[in-house]
Amino acid sequence: MSTDIKKIAKELYAAHKEAREVDRFTAASPAFSLAEAYEAQRLLLAHHLTGGDTLVGRKMGLTSRPKMQQMGVHNPIHGFLTASMHVADGGEVALRGRIHPKIEPEIAFVLKRELGGRPSVAEALAAVEGVCGALEVIDSRYRNFEFQLPDVVADNGSSSAFLLGAKLVRPQHLDLANLGITVEVNGRAQLFGSSAAILGHPGRSLAALVALLDEEGKTLPAGSVVLAGAATAAIPLTPGSRVRATFQGLGSLEARAGA
């Protein structure tokens, strides 16, 4: 029996809308494949767009060892970012409407021109307008954040919201291969990391994303925002907490969790 991709996308969209967890699909359908999962993700995006949202970029996930170890899944994946997922720097991330949100520091790229094909890291970075620090809120729609690779791909890489730092810096003005990152919660340092954790260099994540999209016959349009993947494990977003991420050369940004 083949997997019902349409049903999976519909269930994940409903789980997102209603902030309710579902069981991972690979439990009931062990044959659910990665190719089917990306198809389900495309259908999930179509549900969001039909609901009035717009596509503003892409995210990479599981590009660092801390994340792979935390989640028990060991291959980079990608997902989409929509306009309604964006929260302003310093803004509130509502906990109502989310299931079990976590937050993680990311490096983001903003493209000045379209990127397609299979670029080298240098070619990919040449299309970048600027780099900024970012935070991603992830909120797996799966019970206990438990999934296998096809499940998390279908669920848009657990993505829920993202915040971008105000300081946009040209990539050539940064030592992107080793930017220090600190995350403080309510003023206390909780996580330390380096951009080196992201495939050795976040530019590799960008180039890998473009190559993965090329396999689907897609490109990254000018203006796209790309999250390269978290450099550290994610931490639970607790009610009323303030999470501040500081990036060497890129300043800091802050998210406030709602009640």
Strands 128-138, 251-257: pairing kind = unpaired
Q: Does 127 bind ligand OOG (CB under 6 A)?
A: no
29 vs 4: CA distance, rounded Å = 9
Neighbours of 185 (CB within 10 A): 18
Q: Given the DSSP bridges, would you call strands 77-82 and 180-185 parallel, antiparallel or unpaired?
A: unpaired
Residue 128, both tokens: 């970048």
Beta bridge partners of 189: 184
Q: Least separation, in Å, of the C-beta of 255 and ligand OOG? A: 15
Binding mask 50-89 for ligand OOG (x = CB under 6 A): -----------xxx---x---x------------------
Residue 161 as a binder of ligand OOG (CB under 6 A): the answer is: no
Q: Answer for the pair 9, 40: CB distance below 8 angstroms, yes or no.
A: yes
Cβ distance to ligand OOG smaller for residue 6 or 20 = 20
Between 126 and 235, name the residue whose CB sits nearer to ligand OOG.
235
76 binds, among ligand OOG, Mg ion, none (CB under 5 to 8 A by kind): none
CB 35 within 8 A of CB 180: no
Binding window for ligand OOG (CB under 6 A); candidates: 32-40, 134-142, 172-180, 212-220: 134-142
Q: Compute how many residues bind ligand OOG; rule: CB under 6 A.
A: 16
Residue nearest to Mg ion (CB): 136
Contact residue for ligand OOG among 57, 157, 171, 202 (CB under 6 A)? 157
Interface with ligand OOG (CB under 6 A), residue from 3, 140, 195, 246: 140
Nearer to Mg ion, 121 or 135 (CB): 135
Query: What is the distance between the alpha carbons of residues 93 and 137, in angstroms, rounded to a whole number?
Result: 8
Q: What count of other Cβ atoms lies within 10 Å of the Cβ of residue 53?
A: 15
Contact 135, 56 (CB under 8 A): no
- CB 148 → ligand OOG: shortest distance, Å? 11
Residues near 118 by beta carbon (within 8 Å), at least 6 away in sequence = 207, 210, 211, 214
Interaction partner, residue 62 (Mg ion, ligand OOG, none; CB < 5-8 Å by kind): ligand OOG
Q: Taking Cα atoms as reference points, which of 216, 249, 237, 8 lies closest to residue 107?
A: 249
Minimum distance, C-beta of residue 104 to Mg ion, in the bound complex (Å): 5
Binding residues vs ligand OOG (CB under 6 A): 61-63, 67, 71, 104, 136, 138, 140, 145, 152, 157-158, 229-230, 234
